[in-house]
Amino acid sequence: MSKTIVEKILSEHSGTDACAGDIVVAEIDAALVQDGTGPLAVQHLQKLGMEQAAKPERTVLFIDHAAPSPRKELSNAHKILRDFAKKTGAILSDVNEGVCHQRMVENYMNPGEVLIGADSHTCTAGALGAFATGMGSTDVALGIASGKTWLRVPETFKVYVTGEFKKGVYPKDLMLHFIGMIGADGATYKALEFCGPTIDAMEISGRFTLANMAVEAGAKAGLFNSDETTKKYLKERGRGEAWRPISADEGANYERVYEIDVSELEPTISAPHMVDNTKVIKDVEGIRVDQVYIGTCTNGRIEDLRIAARILEGKTRNPHTRLLVCPASRDVYLKAIEEGLIAKFIVAGATIVNPGCGACVGVHGGILGDGEVCLATQNRNFRGRMGNPDGFIYLSSPAVAAATAIEGVIADPRKYL
């Protein structure tokens, strides 16, 4: 029987002929928790007398959401993860190493593997042809201890993308457009399979952005073919031997098929307070912005920083608008220093935030004041996301963010390119 990518991967990992709708028990290749969800997972295992890791070399505990800790309660939560790592041999990704999703694709995940994570944006690794999904802390805890998890095999929506991006339009605009088209719950517990000539030609960083935001349409996972682009990335990261080709079978059964021509897209924004509240740039231009935030697991890669630096070079931020730049990992940070991007950001008036989640989750490093407006390259803009329910968050590409920082109002980046 012809299979989708997710059916292929879960068949392999469950030893069954898995089809959409089936319940399977699947072997896990890797698991992650972070400092917001990890302590609960560890405490659950302690309560069950199962404080162990079946695959410690692929179990990664991230201190990234509050890094470094802004208060003692969070420091104590970090201590729980540090102690678990020492006891079990699990890997600790400490302060300043970066956001869990970026580091998983940089260092741990490979095509055809299964990743579970106690964070909803675990689906980022689907860009490498893996099945990667977020779960609750207790489910991930048992997965860590046993090396297995149970799943309902999701139905798949095929997202077939054609055309060439126009100047100033990027994969982030495509994903915001798609979410606006189907709604924030339009793909609930489905797998999104991105394909088509535009996806085939897309660099890996763009694929990461699309996979990262699959959950913002309600999806269980977002997956891509493992192809030559995937192979190149894995070689660059020192694990080219882990590459294998993966794609859906011809004749695979899709619940729905969406076709999008990116040549028709314009810079796209999500307005408060839902990701699917999308607008084209002309409908929001001129809205006053107090803070611009460039980074996160969605758009904090070196390719994103290059786009923003290109626009900001030789210019300065609006004096009434704060500009925060947060590389997604230490590797990205070092690369940005090496290429001179960090210097360009600083000259433009930016504050550089150490790699981590920071302002995106509203714990520290850029919390909004009452009534303040932030335009960010992150993945969520619901009320209170950046630490204040009285703040307003718009989502955009790094290009829109850079143009907005210059003008102090939401601005079209195409005039700077």
**297 labeled binding residue:** yes
CATH of range 268-412; options 3.30.499.10, 3.30.70.20, 3.40.30.10, 2.60.120.10: 3.30.499.10
Task: Tell me the two tokens of residue 231.
Answer: 């192979």
DSSP sequence for 31-57:
EEEETTTHHHHHHHHHHHT----SSGG
Is 357 part of any known ligand binding site?
yes
- Give mean pLDDT, residues 11-35: 97
- Number of helices (H) and strands (E), helices first, in the chain? 14, 18
Residue 181 has pLDDT above 90, yes or no: yes
Strand, coil or helix: 263? helix
Q: In 237-299, which ranges are continuous DSSP H helix?
A: 296-299
What is the band of 362 on the pLDDT scale with cuts at 50, 70, 90?
confident
Is residue 256 very low, low, confident or very high in pLDDT (cuts 50, 70, 90)? Answer: very high
Residue 145: which residues within 8 A CB-CB, separation 6 or more? 45, 48, 50, 51, 52, 53, 54
222 pLDDT tier (thresholds 50, 70, 90) = very high
Homologous superfamily assigned to 5-260: Aconitase, domain 3 (3.30.499.10)
Residues of the chain with CATH 3.30.499.10: 5-260, 268-412
> pLDDT confidence of 6, banded at 50, 70, 90?
very high
Give yes or no for residue 13 having a pLDDT over 90.
yes
Region 88-96: mean pLDDT is 96
Q: Is the predicted pLDDT of residue 363 greater than 90, yes or no?
A: no
Mean pLDDT of 148-162: 98
> How large is the average pLDDT for residues 41-64?
96
pLDDT band at 365 (very low <50, low <70, confident <90, very high): confident
98-135 pLDDT, tens digit per residue, is 999 999 999 999 999 999 999 999 999 999 999 999 99
Give the mean pLDDT of the chain.
97
Taking the whole predicted model, whether its pTM rises above 0.85 is answered as: yes
